[in-house]
Structure 1
Protein backbone atom coordinates (compact mmCIF):
# COMPACT_ATOMS: atom_id res chain seq x y z
CA UNK A 1 0.00 0.00 0.00
CA UNK A 2 1.37 3.41 -0.93
CA UNK A 3 0.49 6.29 1.36
CA UNK A 4 1.43 9.91 0.99
CA UNK A 5 1.62 12.01 4.12
CA UNK A 6 1.46 15.76 3.88
CA UNK A 7 2.09 18.89 5.90
CA UNK A 8 2.93 22.49 5.18
CA UNK A 9 6.58 21.96 4.28
CA UNK A 10 6.79 18.19 3.72
CA UNK A 11 9.57 17.29 6.12
CA UNK A 12 8.36 17.59 9.71
CA UNK A 13 4.91 16.44 10.62
CA UNK A 14 4.46 14.45 7.42
CA UNK A 15 7.69 12.51 7.86
CA UNK A 16 6.86 11.71 11.48
CA UNK A 17 3.37 10.56 10.43
CA UNK A 18 4.74 8.38 7.63
CA UNK A 19 7.19 6.68 9.97
CA UNK A 20 4.36 5.96 12.43
CA UNK A 21 2.14 4.54 9.67
CA UNK A 22 4.97 2.28 8.52
CA UNK A 23 5.54 1.08 12.08
CA UNK A 24 1.84 0.34 12.56
CA UNK A 25 1.70 -1.41 9.19
CA UNK A 26 4.66 -3.62 10.12
CA UNK A 27 2.91 -4.52 13.39
CA UNK A 28 -0.06 -5.80 11.37
CA UNK A 29 1.93 -7.45 8.56
CA UNK A 30 1.17 -4.67 6.06
CA UNK A 31 3.90 -3.07 3.99
CA UNK A 32 3.44 0.68 3.81
CA UNK A 33 5.43 2.40 1.11
CA UNK A 34 5.16 6.12 1.11
CA UNK A 35 6.40 9.60 0.69
CA UNK A 36 6.21 12.72 2.84
CA UNK A 37 5.29 15.76 0.73
CA UNK A 38 4.37 19.38 1.17
CA UNK A 39 0.73 20.24 0.57
CA UNK A 40 1.36 21.77 -2.86
CA UNK A 41 3.02 18.58 -4.17
CA UNK A 42 0.23 16.14 -3.33
CA UNK A 43 -1.92 16.61 -6.44
CA UNK A 44 -1.27 14.15 -9.23
CA UNK A 45 0.67 11.69 -7.09
CA UNK A 46 0.05 7.96 -7.54
CA UNK A 47 -0.94 6.54 -4.16
CA UNK A 48 -3.61 4.57 -2.34
CA UNK A 49 -4.37 7.24 0.28
CA UNK A 50 -3.24 10.55 1.71
CA UNK A 51 -2.83 11.21 5.43
CA UNK A 52 -2.33 14.54 7.16
CA UNK A 53 -3.55 16.64 10.04
CA UNK A 54 -7.22 17.60 9.96
CA UNK A 55 -6.26 21.22 9.27
CA UNK A 56 -4.04 20.34 6.30
CA UNK A 57 -6.36 17.86 4.60
CA UNK A 58 -9.25 20.34 4.68
CA UNK A 59 -7.43 22.27 1.97
CA UNK A 60 -7.16 19.28 -0.41
CA UNK A 61 -9.68 19.52 -3.23
CA UNK A 62 -10.12 17.25 -6.22
CA UNK A 63 -8.26 14.28 -4.73
CA UNK A 64 -9.59 10.94 -6.00
CA UNK A 65 -8.02 8.66 -3.36
CA UNK A 66 -9.10 8.44 0.28
CA UNK A 67 -7.92 11.40 2.34
CA UNK A 68 -7.52 10.70 6.06
CA UNK A 69 -7.37 13.50 8.58
CA UNK A 70 -5.65 12.96 11.91
CA UNK A 71 -6.82 15.09 14.84
CA UNK A 72 -3.72 14.50 16.98
CA UNK A 73 -0.65 13.29 15.08
CA UNK A 74 0.97 12.25 18.38
CA UNK A 75 -1.90 9.89 19.17
CA UNK A 76 -0.67 6.49 17.98
CA UNK A 77 -4.01 4.85 18.78
CA UNK A 78 -5.88 7.31 16.54
CA UNK A 79 -3.42 6.78 13.68
CA UNK A 80 -3.63 3.01 14.03
CA UNK A 81 -7.44 3.01 14.14
CA UNK A 82 -7.70 5.19 11.04
CA UNK A 83 -5.14 3.15 9.10
CA UNK A 84 -6.89 -0.12 9.92
CA UNK A 85 -10.27 1.42 9.05
CA UNK A 86 -8.86 2.52 5.68
CA UNK A 87 -7.45 -0.93 4.97
CA UNK A 88 -10.74 -2.57 5.89
CA UNK A 89 -12.78 -0.16 3.76
CA UNK A 90 -10.54 -0.45 0.70
CA UNK A 91 -9.94 -4.18 0.93
CA UNK A 92 -6.17 -3.67 0.73
CA UNK A 93 -4.19 -6.86 0.93
CA UNK A 94 -1.61 -7.64 3.57
CA UNK A 95 1.96 -7.99 2.53
Structure 2
Protein backbone atom coordinates (compact mmCIF):
# COMPACT_ATOMS: atom_id res chain seq x y z
CA UNK A 1 0.00 0.00 0.00
CA UNK A 2 1.18 3.51 -0.83
CA UNK A 3 2.49 5.46 2.16
CA UNK A 4 2.04 9.23 2.40
CA UNK A 5 3.48 11.51 5.08
CA UNK A 6 1.89 14.92 5.76
CA UNK A 7 4.49 17.26 7.22
CA UNK A 8 4.34 20.57 9.09
CA UNK A 9 6.87 22.39 11.24
CA UNK A 10 5.90 20.84 14.57
CA UNK A 11 3.95 17.73 13.49
CA UNK A 12 0.87 18.77 15.45
CA UNK A 13 -2.06 20.84 14.23
CA UNK A 14 -1.53 21.70 10.60
CA UNK A 15 -0.16 18.34 9.51
CA UNK A 16 -3.15 16.64 11.15
CA UNK A 17 -5.54 18.90 9.22
CA UNK A 18 -3.59 18.18 6.03
CA UNK A 19 -3.71 14.44 6.74
CA UNK A 20 -7.51 14.47 7.20
CA UNK A 21 -7.96 16.45 3.98
CA UNK A 22 -5.57 14.17 2.05
CA UNK A 23 -7.42 11.08 3.31
CA UNK A 24 -10.76 12.58 2.22
CA UNK A 25 -9.46 13.52 -1.23
CA UNK A 26 -7.86 10.08 -1.74
CA UNK A 27 -11.15 8.42 -0.77
CA UNK A 28 -12.98 10.56 -3.36
CA UNK A 29 -10.36 9.54 -5.93
CA UNK A 30 -10.77 5.87 -4.99
CA UNK A 31 -7.12 5.55 -3.94
CA UNK A 32 -6.09 3.58 -0.86
CA UNK A 33 -3.08 4.82 1.08
CA UNK A 34 -1.57 4.78 4.53
CA UNK A 35 -1.51 8.47 5.50
CA UNK A 36 0.36 9.73 8.57
CA UNK A 37 1.40 13.14 9.88
CA UNK A 38 4.65 14.25 11.49
CA UNK A 39 7.11 17.12 11.92
CA UNK A 40 9.81 18.01 9.43
CA UNK A 41 12.76 16.60 11.41
CA UNK A 42 11.07 13.20 11.92
CA UNK A 43 10.07 13.13 8.24
CA UNK A 44 13.71 13.23 7.15
CA UNK A 45 14.26 9.86 8.86
CA UNK A 46 11.23 8.17 7.27
CA UNK A 47 10.86 6.80 3.75
CA UNK A 48 7.24 7.00 2.58
CA UNK A 49 6.34 6.99 -1.12
CA UNK A 50 5.24 10.63 -0.93
CA UNK A 51 5.69 13.56 1.43
CA UNK A 52 3.10 16.33 1.28
CA UNK A 53 4.24 19.64 2.72
CA UNK A 54 4.50 23.38 2.11
CA UNK A 55 6.98 24.93 -0.31
CA UNK A 56 8.91 26.40 2.64
CA UNK A 57 9.35 23.04 4.42
CA UNK A 58 10.04 21.17 1.17
CA UNK A 59 13.33 23.06 0.94
CA UNK A 60 14.56 21.48 4.17
CA UNK A 61 13.67 18.02 2.79
CA UNK A 62 15.60 18.48 -0.47
CA UNK A 63 17.40 15.34 -1.54
CA UNK A 64 14.95 13.08 0.33
CA UNK A 65 14.26 9.73 -1.37
CA UNK A 66 10.47 10.28 -1.26
CA UNK A 67 8.61 12.23 -3.93
CA UNK A 68 7.69 15.59 -2.41
CA UNK A 69 4.30 17.11 -3.22
CA UNK A 70 3.84 20.81 -2.47
CA UNK A 71 0.55 22.06 -1.02
CA UNK A 72 0.53 25.64 0.21
CA UNK A 73 -3.00 25.79 1.65
CA UNK A 74 -3.60 22.75 3.87
CA UNK A 75 -7.31 23.66 4.10
CA UNK A 76 -7.91 23.82 0.32
CA UNK A 77 -9.10 20.39 -0.80
CA UNK A 78 -9.15 21.55 -4.44
CA UNK A 79 -5.44 22.41 -4.26
CA UNK A 80 -4.73 19.11 -2.49
CA UNK A 81 -6.67 17.15 -5.12
CA UNK A 82 -4.88 18.93 -8.00
CA UNK A 83 -1.48 18.26 -6.37
CA UNK A 84 -2.30 14.58 -5.83
CA UNK A 85 -3.64 14.12 -9.37
CA UNK A 86 -0.51 15.72 -10.81
CA UNK A 87 1.93 13.65 -8.74
CA UNK A 88 0.53 10.22 -7.95
CA UNK A 89 1.83 7.59 -10.33
Do Structure 1 and Structure 2 share a fold, with TM-score over 0.5? yes
Q: 1:86: which partner in 2?
A: 87
Structure possessing the higher radius of gyration over alpha carbons: 1
Q: Following TM superposition, by how much is the alpha carbon of 1:84 offset from its aligned partner in structure 2, in angstroms?
A: 1.3
Q: Following TM superposition, by how much is the alpha carbon of 1:68 offset from its aligned partner in structure 2, in angstroms?
A: 1.1
| Structure 1 residues not aligned, in runs of 5+ | 91-95
TM-score using structure 1 length: 0.84
Q: 2:49: which partner in 1?
A: 48
Q: Following TM superposition, by how much is the alpha carbon of 1:32 offset from its aligned partner in structure 2, in angstroms?
A: 2.2
Q: What is the aligned residue count?
A: 88
Q: 1:27: which partner in 2?
A: 28
1:24 counterpart SS class = helix
Question: Greater share of helix residues, 1 or 2?
Answer: 2
Cα deviation, 1:31-83, whole Å, max 9, x if unaligned, reads 12121111100123131100011211122122012111112222211100111
